[in-house]
Amino acid sequence: MVVFASEQWAENPIDPLAEAFGASGGSVRIGRSITGGPDGEVRWTAVVANGSVTYLGGVHDDVDVTFTDKAKVATSILQGEFSPNTGFMRGQTKVSGPTSTLLAVLAAGSGDAYEAARKRALDQAGL
């Protein structure tokens, strides 16, 4: 089992928001950072294109949007306590990038594709 928000997690993450956006047919490069995890800060880039998601280590310079969460917030979102959109609206999830792209990605955070990806990520993390 992989510890959520660890370096090992970041080597092979499942990002439910990216996965759901990919399932909707969207294309985007999402930078993700989680701070305060067991290994400090972990970062990856989700490249969403043609219905699939590829993960790269670190946050690359050419991302379209970035999401940064504290490990506690990321865990709460992953466990379904609240949505990525709620985290953003509460100011708990820090974001950067064009508003239109951000809102399009956040819209993928509800629905069946998001829930399926969230459950896969939960299983991987043993949460």
Give me the residue spans of the domains in the chain. 7-114
Over range 9-34, report the average pLDDT: 97
Q: Look up the CATH number of domain 7-114.
A: 3.30.1050.10
Structure letter (DSSP) for residue 12 = S
* pLDDT (tens digit per residue) in 76-90: 999 999 999 999 999
Say what the pLDDT of residue 126 is.
81
pTM comes to 0.95
β-pairing, 65-70 vs 28-37, is parallel
Residue 29 — very low, low, confident or very high, per pLDDT cuts 50/70/90? Answer: very high
Q: What are the residues whose beta carbons fall under 8 Å from the beta carbon of 45, sequence distance 6 or more?
A: 29, 30, 31, 32, 55, 56, 57, 58, 59, 60, 63
Q: In the chain, what are the helix, strand and coil shares in percent, each to the nearest 5?
A: 40, 30, 35
